[in-house]
């Protein structure tokens, strides 16, 4: 028996129905901007997303937003803004899946009270503990590429849970070494006499390196060099009396580079790309090279080399 060919008008009607159903499903699946989530129950996060807020549909780059005991979803016009917000929100969502593990960590950060004494000029023991835990969550779970689906997220939870305590202990150990060197450098600056310009320069360097949230805001790769940068401050002031003229000359060179860098950061409204990051830490290496050569630098560094990086930054 020959099949009856489909009626073209029926095909068109069915196609229109399918499209209407598809659009209706998409509309229903749009997240609400004020919905709160404690698990990944909102589907895939695409590059661009529509969300509904007070009857309006907003389109933009999606980000999970840290709401304390939950996360929400918002969209942003700028992908860089969305990415920064999203990391914090994603970290919160991971934390919500690991409440028991985090309770254990909060009570068992190694040498927290000892570190808190050195950290006292900057903040409280609780603030230090929270930074250690936040950085541990970042390193255990927020490795690129970030999860974009529920399956990816659950897999990352399982993978990161097993190493979270080890990572937190590693961060706490490094924080302890940094804070010991920070306290030594701060004492040396306070005790240094008869060299107001050098101590002022060293104090400004110390403040830039170790602000209140230094653990959370410094890239991990750079943070591992902080003990050497801080020890270099102490050694510089130890050697200052032997050759103050040399210190003054070197200080003028490195200050010119510092001022140039921070002026550019201000012009770019604080946005620091990969090249600027490289320049930022090369400036610290230059100070080691100038004032504490015995500590060595991972690679040769000089004003001439910095000029090459400057040319790339400004190209």
CA distance linking residue 285 with residue 279, whole number of Å? 10
Query: pLDDT-based confidence at 64, cuts 50/70/90?
Result: very high
Is pLDDT above 50 for 28?
no
pLDDT for residue 32: 67
Q: In this structure, what DSSP letter does residue 91 have?
A: H
Query: pLDDT-based confidence at 17, cuts 50/70/90?
Result: low
CA distance linking residue 229 with residue 185, whole number of Å? 10
Query: pLDDT-based confidence at 12, cuts 50/70/90?
Result: very low
Return the structure tokens found at 37. 């989530």
Exposure string over 104-143, b if 16+ CB within 10 A, otherwise e: ebeeebeebeebbebbeeeeeeeebbbbbbbbbbbbbbbe
Nearest Cα neighbor of 210 from 183, 234, 173, 191 is: 183
Return the structure tokens found at 96. 């919500």
CA distance linking residue 98 with residue 102, whole number of Å? 6
CA distance linking residue 225 with residue 5, whole number of Å? 75
Q: Give yes or no for a contact between 227 and 209, defined as CB atoms under 8 angstroms apart.
A: no
User: Reduced to 3 states, what is the DSSP secondary structure of residue 74?
Assistant: strand
pLDDT for residue 271: 79
> How far is the CA of 190 from the CAs of 120, 152, 182, 209, 251, in angstroms?
16, 51, 12, 17, 19
Q: Give yes or no for a contact between 141 and 91, defined as CB atoms under 8 angstroms apart.
A: yes
Q: What is the mean pLDDT of residues 305-315?
A: 89
Query: pLDDT-based confidence at 15, cuts 50/70/90?
Result: very low
Q: What is the mean pLDDT of residues 66-75?
A: 96
Per-residue model confidence as pLDDT tens digits over 74-122: 999 999 999 999 999 999 999 999 999 999 999 999 999 999 999 999 9
Is pLDDT above 70 for 156?
yes
Is pLDDT above 80 for 153?
yes
Q: Name the phi and psi angles at 225, rounded to 5.
A: -95, -5
pTM: 0.86
Per-residue model confidence as pLDDT tens digits over 129-140: 999 999 999 999
Q: Where are the alpha helices (DSSP H) in 30-149?
A: 79-97, 99-107, 112-119, 125-141
Regarding beta strands 49-53 and 56-66, do their DSSP bridges make them parallel or antiparallel, or are they unpaired?
Answer: antiparallel
User: Reduced to 3 states, what is the DSSP secondary structure of residue 73?
Assistant: strand
Return the structure tokens found at 228. 């050497």
Residue bearing tokens 């099949």: 3
Computed on alpha carbons and rounded to an integer, the radius of gyration of the chain in Å comes to 27
Per-residue model confidence as pLDDT tens digits over 183-217: 999 999 999 988 999 999 999 999 999 999 999 99
pLDDT for residue 277: 92
Query: pLDDT-based confidence at 30, cuts 50/70/90?
Result: low
Per-residue model confidence as pLDDT tens digits over 256-271: 999 999 999 999 888 7
pLDDT for residue 147: 96
Q: Name the phi and psi angles at 198, rounded to 5.
A: -65, -45
Q: What is the mean pLDDT of residues 53-57?
A: 84
Q: Name the phi and psi angles at 37, rounded to 5.
A: -130, 135
pLDDT for residue 306: 94
Give CA 130 to chain center in angstroms. 14
Per-residue model confidence as pLDDT tens digits over 228-252: 999 999 999 999 999 999 999 999 9
Is pLDDT above 70 for 224?
yes
Nearest Cα neighbor of 240 from 308, 175, 188 is: 188
pLDDT for residue 274: 86
């Amino acid at each position: 028996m020959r099949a009856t060919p489909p009626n073209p008008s029926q095909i068109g009607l069915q196609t229109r129905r399918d499209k209407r159903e598809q659009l209706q499903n998409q509309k229903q699946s749009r997240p609400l901007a004020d919905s709160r989530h404690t698990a990944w129950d909102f589907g895939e996060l695409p590059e661009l997303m529509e969300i509904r807020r007070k009857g309006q549909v907003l389109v933009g780059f999606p980000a999970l937003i840290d709401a304390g005991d939950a996360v929400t979803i918002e969209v942003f016009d700028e992908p860089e803004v969305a990415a920064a917000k999203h990391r914090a929100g994603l970290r919160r969502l991971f934390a919500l899946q690991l409440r028991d593990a985090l309770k254990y960590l909060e009570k068992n950060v190694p040498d927290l009270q000892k570190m808190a004494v050195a950290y006292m000029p900057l903040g409280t023991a609780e603030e230090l503990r929270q930074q250690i835990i936040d950085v541990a969550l970042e390193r255990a779970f927020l490795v690129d590429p970030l999860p974009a689906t529920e399956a990816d997220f659950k897999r990352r939870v399982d993978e990161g849970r097993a190493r979270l305590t080890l990572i937190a202990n590693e961060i706490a150990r490094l924080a302890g070494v940094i804070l010991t060197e920070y306290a030594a450098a701060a004492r040396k600056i306070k005790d240094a006499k008869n060299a107001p310009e050098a101590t002022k320069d060293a104090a400004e360097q110390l403040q830039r390196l170790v602000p209140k949230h230094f653990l959370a805001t410094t890239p991990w790769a750079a943070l591992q060099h902080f003990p050497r940068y801080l020890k270099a401050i102490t050694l510089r002031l130890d050697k200052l009396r032997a050759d103050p003229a040399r210190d003054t000359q070197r200080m003028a060179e490195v200050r010119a580079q510092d001022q140039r860098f921070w002026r550019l950061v201000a012009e770019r409204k604080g946005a620091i790309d990969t090249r600027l990051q490289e320049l930022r830490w090369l400036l610290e290496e230059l100070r080691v090279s100038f004032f504490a050569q015995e500590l060595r630098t991972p690679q040769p560094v000089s004003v001439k080399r910095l000029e090459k990086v400057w040319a790339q930054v400004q190209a």
